[in-house]
Amino acid sequence: MKKQILIFLVIISFSNSVPSQCLKMQNTFPCTAGRHMIKPIQSQYANIDPFSVYQEKTKSLKPLSQVWHWDTILAYDTAGTAQRLTRTFNPQGMLLMELTENWQTGSWINFIRTTHTYNASGKKLTDLGESWQTNTWVNVSRWTNTYDASGNLIIILVEQWQANTWMNVFQWLDSISTNGNVLTSIMQSWQNNAWVNLNRSTDTIDSGGNPLTELHEIWQNNTWQNNSRATNTYDANENTLTRFIESWQNSTWVNSVRYTYTYDTIGNRLTELWEQWQFNVWINNSRTTCIYNTNGNLQIELFESWVNSAWMNSEKWIFTYDANGNIGTKVVQIWQGGSWYNSEKQTYTYDLNGNSLTGKDEIWRNSSWAPGQGVLSVYSNQVFESSIFPSYHYTATFHSCDAVIINPKTGCNWFKVFPNPTDSRIRISTGRLTNFDDTFVIIYNGQGQLLMQLRLKDETTEIDVSKFPDGIYFIKLLNNNRTGVERFVKE
């Protein structure tokens, strides 16, 4: 049977990318209470694209009249065309429909389709997933979002189509603080025609909106039982310094895992140290080291393991960029027998707007590069937008929409911009936001022209605006189910 190329974004859209209280840090918390429990595809590949953490930086400050999104992708395996993904948008650039087709016997055959609806404020209301069966579209799953009067997402309902009717599967109930932070999140499953608790997350938040502690409980014997908890510390710039994980064992908290991070002066993460608690002492497990070029782009990412009381090389990622700062190649090398050996290479080409027109994956075989099938990224306006897996290469076309904002309503309660006014740099703090896969920031000038678009990489992101002319600017944040605008002054 011919291997299918799964377009990653479509699979995620079937399950709706929702915030998760346990996806606070990358690969750092073995959470049992996270919403990704019913999204195995997303949780397995959520961090598959390393560039998105460090690389989403737009070099050009010239005003852009349009924002770009890909509308058609042709994905190829080593035997030829395998799959086509098509997207449609409304005039405001909001995604309405995603259609995936398979190439069979010389023609395109429908495979899966996802349709999105929104309320008057642009917040997503529903995601409807369908599959093509016996020449007709058949319902598969539906996600429905409910918001409070302030626009905060408070209920997410997941249903499946069974016996020609919608059946409840899961739901999440969130309690929101006056500042828009999620304080508690309860996950429930539908059992015997009633909602039954599964797990609960409870956070304490500092004045900057950052989670200090995260308690995760599971529902057992009709009561909440401790399961695990995390404690976070931050530097003056609100970068995460440490993340300390404990597990509940024999009615007491026991050390489990500790993460320690370091940063450069502009907030790029330099190192990540992972330790485990063994025999009443912290033992090194693995370490990641990042090296950046003069433009602040990630150049080398080195992974090491702690073996026989010493750090041993494990894997290395090497990045190159074109003249416009787009990722040209990513080469993966592995450490064997005291030397580095090529393993995989990805190559991308772009148009003048930073949209990736092609992507290609290759593996090192018999001392040369040969066609492979890996996880390829798609970029719009130099921003990571989605992944294709597995694929040898793809071609993409892009759709543009008006980037001008008119009469923006400022005063968002879920992110902050500081210092304001500023003469050089601003920081964007998202506080309680947990899932950055679909989080983007767009900066406009006072005339509504787009100056910069990038993907957020952490709870706090620093942006250099020193080259902006003095004046008033607007920052728009987009995160799956939420949109907000804040104003800042450059002087």
**Which tens digit of pLDDT belongs to each residue from 171-201?**
999 999 887 888 999 999 999 999 999 999 9
Tell me what pLDDT residue 428 has.
84
Task: Pick 167 or 386 by higher pLDDT.
Answer: 167
pLDDT band at 31 (very low <50, low <70, confident <90, very high): very low
Q: CB-based burial of residue 298 (10 Å sphere; 0-12 exposed, 13-18 middle, 19+ buried)? A: buried
User: What phi and psi values does residue 38 have, to the nearest 5 degrees?
Assistant: -100, 15
Q: With beta carbons less than 8 A apart as the criterion, state whether 34 and 356 touch.
A: no
Please give the model's pTM, rounded to 2 decimal places: 0.73
Task: Tell me the residue type at 354.
Answer: G
Task: Tell me the residue type at 416.
Answer: K
Q: How many CB atoms lie within 10 A of CB 407?
A: 5
C-alpha closest to that of 369 among 379, 378, 380, 360 = 360
User: What phi and psi values does residue 9 have, to the nearest 5 degrees?
Assistant: -65, -35
233-241 long-range contacts, CB within 8 A, separation 24+: 234/206, 234/208, 234/210, 235/263, 237/263, 237/267, 237/427, 237/460, 237/462, 238/208, 238/210, 238/427, 238/429, 238/459, 238/460, 239/263, 239/267, 239/269, 239/458, 239/460, 240/25, 240/458, 240/459
Q: With beta carbons less than 8 A apart as the criterion, state whether 146 and 31 touch.
A: no
Quickly list H helices, 89-138.
none
C-alpha closest to that of 71 among 46, 49, 90 = 90
Taking residues 31-35, what's their average pLDDT? 25
As given in the structure block, the two tokens for residue 14 are 């079937």
Cis peptide before 421 (omega within 30 of 0): yes
Nearest-angstrom CA–CA distance, 278 and 390 = 38
Tell me what pLDDT residue 433 has.
58
Question: pLDDT tens across 449-478, in order?
Answer: 678 877 776 777 888 888 888 887 888 877
Nearest-angstrom CA–CA distance, 338 and 395 = 38
Q: State the sign of the Cα–Cα–Cα–Cα dihedral 271, 276, 281, 283.
A: negative
Task: Pick 483 or 5 by higher pLDDT.
Answer: 483
pLDDT band at 26 (very low <50, low <70, confident <90, very high): very low
Q: CB-based burial of residue 74 (10 Å sphere; 0-12 exposed, 13-18 middle, 19+ buried)? A: middle
The contacts of residue 59 (CB under 8 Å, 6+ apart) are: 295, 324, 325, 382
Looking up tokens 């404020």 gives 121
What are the start and end residues of each CATH 2.40.128.720 domain in the chain?
A: 6-59+66-202+214-220+287-402
Q: With beta carbons less than 8 A apart as the criterion, state whether 277 and 258 touch.
A: yes
User: How far does Cα 248 stand from its chain's mean position?
Assistant: 29
Q: How many CB atoms lie within 10 A of CB 491?
A: 8
pLDDT band at 12 (very low <50, low <70, confident <90, very high): very low
Q: How many CB atoms lie within 10 A of CB 131?
A: 17
As given in the structure block, the two tokens for residue 313 are 């090389």
Quickly list H helices, 244-361.
none
Question: pLDDT tens across 126-143, in order?
Answer: 999 999 999 999 999 999
Tell me what pLDDT residue 21 has.
30
Tell me what pLDDT residue 6 has.
37
Taking residues 165-173, what's their average pLDDT? 97
- CATH dotted code for 416-490: 2.60.40.1220
Nearest-angstrom CA–CA distance, 152 and 130 = 28
Q: What is the mean pLDDT of the chain?
A: 81
C-alpha closest to that of 113 among 101, 133, 129, 96 = 129
Question: pLDDT tens across 285-304, in order?
Answer: 999 999 999 988 999 999 99
Question: pLDDT tens across 332-388, in order?
Answer: 999 999 999 999 999 999 998 889 999 999 999 999 999 999 999 999 888 888 888
User: How far does Cα 308 stand from its chain's mean position?
Assistant: 35
The contacts of residue 16 (CB under 8 Å, 6+ apart) are: 124, 127, 143, 156, 158, 480
- CATH dotted code for 6-59+66-202+214-220+287-402: 2.40.128.720
pLDDT exceeds cutoff 50 at 59? no
Nearest-angstrom CA–CA distance, 346 and 359 = 7
Question: pLDDT tens across 416-440, in order?
Answer: 888 888 888 888 887 655 555 567 7
What percentage of the chain carries pLDDT values higher than 70? 80
Question: pLDDT tens across 93-137, in order?
Answer: 788 999 999 999 889 999 999 999 999 888 899 999 999 999 999
Between the two ends of the chain, the Cα-to-Cα distance in Å is 63
User: What phi and psi values does residue 315 have, to the nearest 5 degrees?
Assistant: -150, 155
C-alpha closest to that of 344 among 360, 358, 329, 364 = 364
What are the start and end residues of each CATH 2.60.40.1220 domain in the chain?
A: 416-490
